[in-house]
Chain A
Amino acid sequence: MSLLTVRNLNVNFAQRQQPIAALLDINFSIEPGERLAIVGESGAGKSLLGAAITQLLPKPGYIASGSVTLRGKELTQMSAKQWQEVRGQRIAMIFQDPMMTLNPVLSIGAQMVEAIRSHTRIGYKDARKMAIDKLAQVRIASPSQRFEQYPHELSGGMRQRVIIAIVLLLRPELIIADEPTTALDVTIQAEILQLLKEVCESHGVALIFISHDFGVVARISERTLVMYAGKIVEQGATLEIINDPQHPYTQGLLNALPQMALPGQRLNQITGNMPSPNERPSGCAFHPRCRYATERCAQETPNFINTDVSIAACILLEELVSHEEEPDA
């Protein structure tokens, strides 16, 4: 059975006249121990999807319809009290800025012990020992000294390690990491990615990794969802998508990377900007920026097509598939 299943999830933002649809018809699932990446530009709704899974949607956002199930148990209908047992213990989150996540006036140790003791009945001494063990596991030097220190005394990379340690304390089944390395330098980023990958493997934790950087995603995830304007446009195995992207948006994203053009040459940019949710184009939301767009794209909403590489929602692919089928018929 899948660990987490999201079915036909729609998230709206309430407004005076008419609610604005921010996430439309999201469908995906994640297996235990799997590492899944969600990629897209800012405004694509990738962070919102993470928030919707954990019911941490910013107001006035709400889940309009659809279901999110964790090992078969419906999450969208749970009360706040029931959620307390899920958040942290079964689904944990890591955010972009570790300084915003850690409490600046409490020592690292106090925050770790608090996390343990608010979920379990473990005494202070044992909790302290557990915390120091975990700090050592995420390769923090002299963990018992760091235990006493405050967040501002640590470097950015170390803070993110502390957060990974806190997250692991309660042995969750799923970690949702929202751009956890964006605020870090390249060398530190490489270390944190390596660490995240290792702890996920050793603890058997599933990971949802939200990022805008295909280079990072390629290093950590097995499967990738590409989002555009609140919808999933393509999903499949990470390396296969990178080698042979099917959806024009995925192609555009990959082609825009500086390494895809010869040095000094113009980059292959995608023209225009991501539309805001209240002015969603008709048909396929990507058609105003797509270089292959036809009239059909402006009118019809594309369905998901199974290609050899991935599952992508594009009218062009639909036409391609139907052309291939015709001669047989």
Chain B
Amino acid sequence: MPELIRIKNLSKAFPVRGDWFKPWRSKKQQLKQGVHALNGIDISLQQGETLCIVGETGCGKSTLARVLVGLETPDQGEVWYGGEEISRLNDRQRMKFRKRMQMVFQNPYASLNPRMTVYQILQEAVALHHPELNHEGQDQHIRQQLESVGLDQTAEDRFPHEFSGGQRQRISLARALSVGPELIIADEPLAALDVSVQAQVLNLMMDKQAEHNLTYLFITHDLSVVEHFASRVAVMYLGRICEIADRATLFSAPKHPYTQALLASMPRLDNLDETPIPLQGEVPTVYEDIEGCSFCRRCPHATQRCFEQIPVALNLEDGSQVACHAIEEGRVWK
């Protein structure tokens, strides 16, 4: 599979608001005090795969998506799309990449303009990215898109509030697909939906992937969805990637202590007898600049070294990548 996206050493920090001395501080100082959303992320995305990014609230997974589509500019690092570096393009240069990658957001109640009809919402995207279509061509294209996500023609003239959550997420997906992208970045698209509706949307997304050979970057905190849907999984914790592995490898043999805890606390129906691995302490806030491994304070295997040195990603034999001192030293998972 050819590589679609390569992210190299990506970092992004947000300066904390309300710093009175901000004008007198250097950029470096400002960032040191800020929220470190991403800290040296290295990851690549292959054509046609589904990469799921998992992690708890505040681990930076949404920021990663926003940097990819260009809604945020990274402080450091590069994003290579095909053969081009795209993280610092201006709006005009970015247009052609916008056509190639589209985003579906978490909350379909907020991501669709309430004052536009469904037709207008889709037409906006189509007119911008397919200027060659005339009015009739647009009409036809929009109708096709709506049909392909299972909405009928009467939906065109209705407003977003007239639809249920699942239907709205279909509209978001139709809007994203109407441009004809090769990559769809979906930021928790199922979080606001019920189980049965989740299944509907997930099925639709899988159908579309098969139909258009789409690549998905799927961000979620729901591990059961990941297990079902992903081809590769990246686990993030406080701005760093702890583990990247194939789905089957990750779920059958999780290596990083955080991944293990995450899998054990997953509310499934077939692991009722297992007790979750208790994690000590509280999640550190993102404001703190942690020196060592970001997971050291909650990790049951942490040693002095974990508090002092940032672990480097190791390539293991089964193809997974793990950043953990304990694994490197052979204390866990040999």
A residues whose Cβ falls under 8 Å from a Cβ of B: 41-42, 141, 155-158, 185-191, 193-194, 212-216, 218-219, 239, 242, 252-254, 256-259, 261, 263-264, 266-271, 273-274
Query: Which single residue of chain B is at the shortest CB-CB distance from A289?
Result: B196
Do B282 and A259 have beta carbons less than 8 Å apart?
Answer: no
Select the residue from A42, A185, A242, A261 with max chain B CB neighbours within 10 A. Answer: A185
Select the residue from A158, A257, A274 with max chain B CB neighbours within 10 A. Answer: A257
Residues from chain B with Cβ under 8 Å of A157 in the complex: 282-283
Do B228 and A264 have beta carbons less than 8 Å apart?
Answer: yes
Residues from chain A with Cβ under 8 Å of B247 in the complex: 263
Do A187 and B269 have beta carbons less than 8 Å apart?
Answer: no
Query: Which single residue of chain B is at the shortest CB-CB distance from A213?
Result: B267
| Stretch of B113-121, B176-184, B218-226, B325-333 contacting A (4+ beta carbons < 8 Å) | B218-226
Do A266 and B195 have beta carbons less than 8 Å apart?
Answer: no
B197: CB under 8 A from chain A?
Answer: yes
**Residue-by-residue, is B270-313 near A (CB-CB < 8 Å gives 1, otherwise 0)?**
10100010110111010000000000000000000000000000
Do B268 and A215 have beta carbons less than 8 Å apart?
Answer: yes
- Would you mind naming 21 contact pairs between A and B with Cβ atoms under 8 Å apart? A157-B282, A185-B221, A186-B56, A186-B267, A187-B261, A187-B265, A189-B267, A213-B267, A215-B224, A218-B269, A256-B196, A258-B224, A258-B228, A259-B228, A259-B269, A263-B229, A263-B248, A264-B206, A269-B196, A269-B200, A270-B199
Query: Which single residue of chain B is at the shortest CB-CB distance from A243?
Result: B269
Residues from chain A with Cβ under 8 Å of B221 in the complex: 185-186
Residues from chain A with Cβ under 8 Å of B261 in the complex: 187
Do B194 and A41 have beta carbons less than 8 Å apart?
Answer: yes
B57: CB under 8 A from chain A?
Answer: yes
Do A253 and B269 have beta carbons less than 8 Å apart?
Answer: no
**Residue-by-residue, is B152-167 near A (CB-CB < 8 Å gives 1, otherwise 0)?**
0000000000001010
Do A41 and B276 have beta carbons less than 8 Å apart?
Answer: no
Considering only residues 221-248 of chain B, those with a C-beta below 8 Å from chain A are 221, 223-225, 227-229, 247-248
B9: CB under 8 A from chain A?
Answer: no
Q: Given A212-B194, A212-B195, does the pair A257, B262 have CB atoms closer than 8 Å?
A: no
By Cβ-Cβ distance, the 8 closest A-B pairs, closest first, are: A215-B267, A190-B265, A258-B228, A185-B56, A267-B199, A269-B199, A256-B199, A190-B276
Q: CA–CA, A260 to B281, complex, Å?
A: 33
Do B223 and A256 have beta carbons less than 8 Å apart?
Answer: no
Residues from chain B with Cβ under 8 Å of A41 in the complex: 194-197
What is the distance, in angstroms, from A106's C-beta to the closest C-beta of chain B?
A: 22
Q: Given A185-B221, A186-B223, A190-B265, does the pair A253, B195 have CB atoms closer than 8 Å?
A: yes
Q: Given A218-B272, A259-B228, A273-B197, does the pair A266, B203 have CB atoms closer than 8 Å?
A: yes
Query: Which single residue of chain B is at the shortest CB-CB distance from A215?
Result: B267
Do B272 and A219 have beta carbons less than 8 Å apart?
Answer: yes
Do B195 and A257 have beta carbons less than 8 Å apart?
Answer: yes
Q: Given A190-B276, A266-B203, does the pair A156, B270 have CB atoms closer than 8 Å?
A: no
- Cβ 8 A contact of B282, one of A155, A215, A252, A261: A155
